[in-house]
Chain A
Amino acid sequence: MPSEKIDIDYVARLARIDLTEEEKVTFAEQLGNILAYVDKLNQVDVSGVEPMAHAFALENVLDDDEPGPALTVKDALRNAPAQRDNQIVVPKVVEDA
């Protein structure tokens, strides 16, 4: 059983997707199963085990500050559905992140 009941409306809102009532039931159950599966990890005693950031024990992967090539404006905007003045046009947004 899932450790907590999933708030499917909240998750859908965060992901900016609309779900039908049927989809909500389906996904709530599926996501609940995933949580239950991951919850098993909580049963493992990891006291004294150092958390790891990555499967490879590498650190300090750093690159010198030497600028490489930039895309042309044309290429940069190739995927933009709408553009004006070499910029991407998006619906008016006033909310600040």
Chain B
Amino acid sequence: MEFTADIGLEVHVQLKTKSKMFTRAPYHYGAEPNTLTDPVVLALPGVLPVMNKEAVRKTVLLGLLCKCKIAERCKWDRKNYFYPDSPKNYQLSQYDQPICEGGEVEIEMLGASRNVMGEHRMVQLTRIHLEEDVGKLTHFANDSLVDYNRAGAPLCEIVTEPDMHNADEVFAFLTALRNNIVAAGLSDCDMEKGQMRCDANISVRPKGQETLGTKVELKNMNTISGVRNAVAYEIKRQIHAVTSGEAIHQQTRRWDPVSQVTTKMRDKEESHDYRYFPEPDLMPVSIGAQQLKVLAKELPELPFDRQRRFMETLDLPYTLTSVLCPDKELADFFEEALADTGGKVAPKAVANLIANDLLRELSGGEEEGRLPLSACKLAPAHIADLTVLVEDGVITKQIAQTIFTEMYATGKMPSTLVEEKGLQAHSDDGELESIVREVAADPKHEKAISQFKDGNTKAINSLIGPIMKATQGKADPRKIQDMLAKVLG
């Protein structure tokens, strides 16, 4: 029997703010334990919450980015539960009036190969609401430790419809969502720092059946790849259970990244009764049409829109755009470099230098752990200068490689390096001719030359290397060929 899987996600994203959601205690990642608290965070008697304007603004931007309907007016509620991660015994969240409703995120599915653009489609969102984060627990053999630094940090929860059907789509969704949010500067979305977290609701049903199967909630997935692996595993586990005649129980399961399996955490019967009620200490927030208009102007061009523009108006191939566009910093760097060339150079030449040479240096030859652009000494002007030098014929492509390595190491401008090292392309035909004659006179090339004279035009290619070497790489290979033909002809 064939099965369809239905997957919905709950994605939590920590907003980039300097202070917490309902108090001005500072917040940033990586502080020593319990150094980012105040009486509100610790829920000491008599404290009152005051909302962070920037967190509301960023949530509305997120909603606009995802084409959600922004509520004209919304409120906050208390979600009651006892757990040591929350000093108040409730979390401030939004129950029935989220800031954003509906919405969609464009995703790209896997293409036939790496060089081929995959199909694009929209994944539907249910809602986005704004709440506060909880503290961090570290479990030991006999007890647990609590750090309240993270407690009260602004947190957006993005809920999708059960609109994804395999692990690759989930991966594509999380990647696209992260790229969009990072591009808009709303969060850094680093999953390993807990700035983006994801739970997945998964069910399977026989193909063709209308109603969804019983859903299982998956937790504890700490990387986007981890989510993909966990979802792929859970779909297989459920299909295996159903085909073996077992019933799927509504439960919460935990992904174990070490053994790569999901294990049961709790059944639905043990689930919580949160007793939501409106928070009496917070006033509602209303967002006017005028404010939405102003905020809409702050939205960045989305990575996929930018990719289409690069392909259509700059005639860049998919492979280059798929490297540049997901990373706003990189795509901005490219556009600045292109502008710096003053229209002299083909966009593809500029893009190649960034997507290939620059990224190769930044990644140090490894797939993972690429350094950020800010870690290198190059500005867009370096790239522009280098491509213009090649375009104007001042230096050869071979020399450009040498200069690239040199400028990456030193941060010196290519023009300066060319001057300093005298790397200008050979333009003196007389000198090139004498070098060509000298190399051609070498007895070891006699055979190649006679083959050339017998009509094998390719035979002289073996002389190009030695000639190039004699010119210290400064000659244009085409010029060498012409000169050879002239000298030998």
Contacts and interface: CB of A to CB of B under 8 A. Distances in A.
Interface of A: 14, 16, 53-54, 56, 58-73, 76-77, 79, 84-97
Nearest to B76: A53
B186 to A, nearest CB: 13
Contacts of A95: 83, 265-266
B145 A89 contact: yes
Q: Sorted from nearest, which 6 A-B pairs have the closest CB atoms? A: A65-B54, A67-B26, A68-B24, A87-B145, A62-B53, A67-B19
B137 A62 contact: no
A91 B17 contact: no
Interface string B247-289: 0000010100000000001100000110100101011111000
B283 A53 contact: yes
B25 A77 contact: no
B488 to A, nearest CB: 74
Contacts of A92: 139-144
Given A62-B51, A91-B144, A97-B134, A53 B265 contact: no
A87 to B, nearest CB: 4
A21 B100 CA distance: 47
Interface residues of B, number: 61
Question: Chain A at the B interface: mostly helix, strand, loop or mixed?
Answer: loop
Contacts of A53: 75, 278, 283-284
Which among B35, B81, B134 has the greatest number of chain A C-beta atoms within 10 A?
B35
Contacts of B280: 54
B34 A86 contact: yes
B54 A59 contact: no
Interface of B: 17-19, 23-27, 32-39, 42, 50-56, 73, 75, 80-86, 134, 137-148, 219, 252, 254, 265-266, 272-273, 275, 278, 280, 282-286
Contact of B39 (A14, A66, A71): A71
7 contacts: A54-B280, A59-B284, A60-B285, A66-B18, A67-B24, A97-B83, A97-B86
Nearest to A15: B82
Nearest to A14: B273
B283 A61 contact: yes
A84 B145 contact: yes
Contact of A96 (B86, B148, B252): B252
Contacts of B134: 97
Given A54-B283, A87-B145, A63 B52 contact: yes
B70 to A, nearest CB: 14
A84 B33 CA distance: 11
A87 B283 contact: no
Given A53-B278, A68-B25, A68-B26, A73 B35 contact: yes
Nearest to B80: A14
A35 to B, nearest CB: 14
Contacts of B252: 96
